[in-house]
Every structure is written in C-alpha cells, then in structure tokens.
C-alpha cells in the first residue's frame, strides 16, 4: 500500500465531536490562551452584566431601595464563513500519515485498520487548522489582499485604538530592549499605567501578559542572570512557563506571521484573558463540513474544512499595550 484512497466526510454531529470540539475545548482551548466560544447560537452574542454599586442600605425603614436594574451590555462577535484547504502528493501524504501511525506503540503495522488511518489523517489536518485559527485570531486583516485575511484579528483592533488612553508605549519606544533588565522596566511601567479596572481583577487570576518572542527571550535572559539555584536550573532545564508578579507571561509565537504586515512587530499586551474572545461555529449554517479525498487525476490527497469563525475584544478599556514597530 502506498496511497490512501478512501474518502472521508464529517458533517453534523461528527463534524463537532470528532474534528472541532476536541481542539476547541479543554486543554486545547487553554493552549490558545483566550476565551473560546464554540457553537454558540449565531449571531454569537456575549452578555456583560455591570452590577450596581453601593447596594447595602441601612435597615431602619420599610420599602424598596433597589433602584434601577443592573445594566447589561452586549457584544456581538461577527462570524465569517471560511474554508481551509490542503493538498499533498499521494506518496508524500501516505508517508505523513504512516509516520503518525508508526510512532504509536500499540499499532500492528501489518494489519492497519481503516479507523487507525482515519484518526491519523484527521490529526494531521486538525493540527493545521488549529494553528491557522490561532494565527488569524491575532494577525487577521480582512481588508488585506492576501495572507491571513479571512477575519479581523485582535492586533488590528488594538492598533486602530492605539491613540487611546488605555494604550501606553513611551517606555518601550525609548528603551534599548537588547538589555534584558529593560523588559522588567517595561512590564512594571505597563502595570503602573494600566487602567485601575484592569489592576483590580488581578486577584481573579485571569490577567496575562501576551508578548512577542523577542520580549519573552529577554525576560528569560533576565531570569538567567539571577544568582540563585533556580536560575541555574532554569538555564539548564528550561522553563515550562514564565510569570511576572504572579501574572503569566505568554509567548504569542507570531514572529513569522507578523513579517510583511503593517501590524506592530514587537509588543506586550496586558489584559484579562477572558476579554479576548474567539468564536467558532460549525452547526448553524448548511454546508459546513470537513472532507478528505483522493484525486486520481492529479494523484493528490486533498483536505477541506468549511466553518464559521471570528474574534473580538469585549472591552478595549481593559487593555494595557506597549509596542514597537
């Protein structure tokens, strides 16, 4: 056997349970680092409640003093229909799928079942779709003629509002970021100029510093320079995750995606991770599917996924942002 010719199609509940839900919920959703809404009814609307303040009253008289009802705000996430397509030479495709199967210890390579081949094919395509969703939610620009232009990403929205009071970048623009200690000055300055509402939610454990790889590396070098056993261990063994004053520092891994765009090439974003929302829908529109088939005319294996996706920032006043072009 040197080709995979069995066609596969996922629609309806199979599209959700086999393909999309495993990569958009649980640990996979946590890897994205933002709030993920999967298969919420369209239009996908997030309801934000603003509880009334000063509701405690003196208990000395009868009557109702509840005042006006709690204010409710709504944010609708615009979803756009997108498709993902991949094509492989038949021999290359078989090698890729076979490698995923051969790496498993519980597989009898002399008796490969259709189920094992299907799982390996699905995993191969799922990995590519998940990474492209992640990249687009950050660098997407629907007005661009090429590149990641299926829907607008977070950075386009942030850049459009960079003149607002919620954005501060003076230190970043002036500092020589090649010195590792400067990255700590940046983090500290960003925190000091963050909106008070953002500082107040630190105790909820959802604040995060999203940084580009250059800042992440500088922070690692800063920690390496500390004269402690932990610094030595971190230098030798590496670090699974970084944090600054209890706030996780997350490398967005966008260096290759930012090249050639008008977006800021280096940035640090402090926000509540629940404030950045990615929405994906595979249920509310006809024609949504994942299909994998073999084209004998071209001797090519092809994969296609059709679904709805979009992202947005719920509250732009809950951001502190520093950048360098």
Distances in whole angstroms, Cα of residue 243 to Cα of each of 111, 194, 205: 48, 17, 12
Pair of tokens at residue 42: 């369209």
Element (H, E) at 323: strand 319-324
Cα 264 to Cα 138: distance, rounded to the nearest angstrom: 11
Whether 191 has a pLDDT exceeding 70, the answer reads yes
Strands 319-324 and 266-272: antiparallel
pLDDT at 174 over 90: no
Would you state the pLDDT for residue 111? 47
Give CA–CA dist 32/177, Å, rounded: 27
Whether 153 and 140 have beta carbons less than 8 Å apart is answered as: yes
Is the pLDDT at 237 greater than 70? The verdict is no
pLDDT at res. 165: 47
Cα separation of 136 and 304, whole Å?
17
* Range of weakest confidence among 117-126, 150-159, 166-175: 166-175
Residue 249's pLDDT is what? Answer: 94
> How crowded is the C-beta side of 43, counted as CA atoms within 13 Å?
8
pLDDT tens per residue, range 46-64: 877 665 666 777 777 677 7
Is the model more confident about 170 or about 135?
135
What would the mean pLDDT of 186-214 be, rounded to a whole number? Answer: 91
Q: Which two tokens stand for residue 127?
A: 């990995």
Radius of gyration of the chain measured on its C-alpha atoms: 24
| Contacts for 2 with CB less than 8 Å, ≥ 6 apart | 90, 91, 94
Confidence (pLDDT) at 96: 74
Least confident of 8-12, 94-98, 285-289, 318-322: 94-98
Q: How confident is the model at residue 90 (pLDDT cuts 50, 70, 90)?
A: confident
| Interatomic CA distance for residues 59 and 140, integer angstroms | 55
Q: Tell how strand 207-211 and strand 44-50 pair up.
A: unpaired
DSSP per-residue string spanning 263-289: S-SEEEEEEEGGGEEEEEESSSSTT-E
Adjacency order of strands within the sheet including 247-251: 242-244, 247-251, 207-211, 266-272, 319-324
Burial class (CB in 10 A: 0-12, 13-18, 19+), 323: buried
Q: DSSP character for 66?
A: -
Do 286 and 256 form a contact (C-beta atoms < 8 A)?
A: no
Residue 70: predicted pLDDT? 64
- DSSP-assigned letter for residue 82: E
| 313 CB neighbour count, 10 Å cutoff | 18
Average pLDDT over residues 80-88: 91
226 vs 233, residue with greater confidence = 226
Per-residue pLDDT tens digits for 13-48? 888 888 898 888 877 777 888 999 998 888 888 877
CA distance 38 to 19: 12
Residue 229: CB partners within 8 Å, gap ≥ 6?
Answer: none
Q: What is the pLDDT of residue 322?
A: 87
Residue 177 pLDDT greater than 70, yes or no:
no
Region 217-221 average pLDDT: 89
Output the furthest CA–CA distance in the chain (Å, rounded): 86
Distances (CA, A) of 307 to 7, 85, 86, 241, 280: 19, 12, 15, 33, 8
Q: Is the pLDDT of residue 303 over 70?
A: yes
Please compute the mean of the pLDDT values over residues 225-239 and round it to a whole number. Answer: 63
How remote is the C-alpha of 305 from its chain's centroid?
19
**What tens digit of pLDDT does each residue of 243-284 get?**
999 999 999 999 999 998 889 888 999 999 999 999 999 988
User: pLDDT, tens digit, for every residue of 94-120?
Assistant: 777 777 666 665 555 544 455 666 777
**Per-residue pLDDT at 14:** 86
Higher-pLDDT residue of 282, 173: 282
């Amino acid at each position: 056997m040197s080709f995979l010719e069995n066609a596969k199609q996922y629609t309806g509940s199979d599209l959700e349970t086999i393909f999309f839900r495993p990569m958009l919920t649980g640990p996979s959703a946590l890897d994205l680092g933002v709030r993920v809404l999967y298969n919420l009814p369209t239009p996908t609307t997030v309801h934000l409640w603003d509880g009334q303040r000063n509701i405690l009253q003196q208990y000395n008289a009868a009557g109702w003093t509840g005042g006006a009802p709690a204010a409710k705000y709504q944010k609708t996430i615009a979803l756009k229909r997108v498709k993902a397509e991949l094509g492989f030479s038949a021999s290359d495709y078989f090698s890729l799928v076979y490698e995923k199967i051969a790496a498993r210890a519980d597989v009898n390579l002399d008796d490969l079942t259709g189920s094992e081949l299907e799982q390996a094919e699905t995993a191969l395509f799922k990995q590519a779709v998940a990474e492209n969703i992640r990249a687009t939610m950050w660098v997407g620009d629907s007005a661009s003629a090429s590149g990641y232009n299926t829907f607008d990403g977070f950075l386009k929205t942030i850049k459009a509002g960079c003149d607002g009071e919620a954005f501060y970048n003076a230190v970043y623009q002036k500092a020589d970021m090649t010195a590792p200690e400067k990255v700590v000055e940046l983090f500290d300055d960003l925190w000091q100029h963050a909106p008070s509402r953002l500082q107040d939610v630190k105790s909820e454990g959802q604040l995060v510093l999203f940084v580009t790889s250059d800042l992440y590396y500088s922070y690692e070098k800063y920690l390496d320079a500390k004269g402690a056993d932990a610094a030595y261990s971190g230098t030798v063994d590496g670090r699974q995750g970084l944090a600054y004053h209890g706030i996780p520092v997350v490398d967005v891994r966008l260096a290759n995606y930012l090249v050639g765009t008008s977006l800021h090439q280096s940035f640090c974003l402090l926000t509540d991770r629940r404030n950045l929302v990615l929405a994906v829908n595979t249920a509310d529109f006809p024609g949504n599917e994942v299909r994998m088939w073999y084209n004998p005319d071209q001797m090519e294996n092809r994969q296609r996924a059709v679904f709805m996706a979009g992202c947005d920032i719920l509250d732009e006043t809950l951001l502190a942002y520093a950048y360098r072009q």
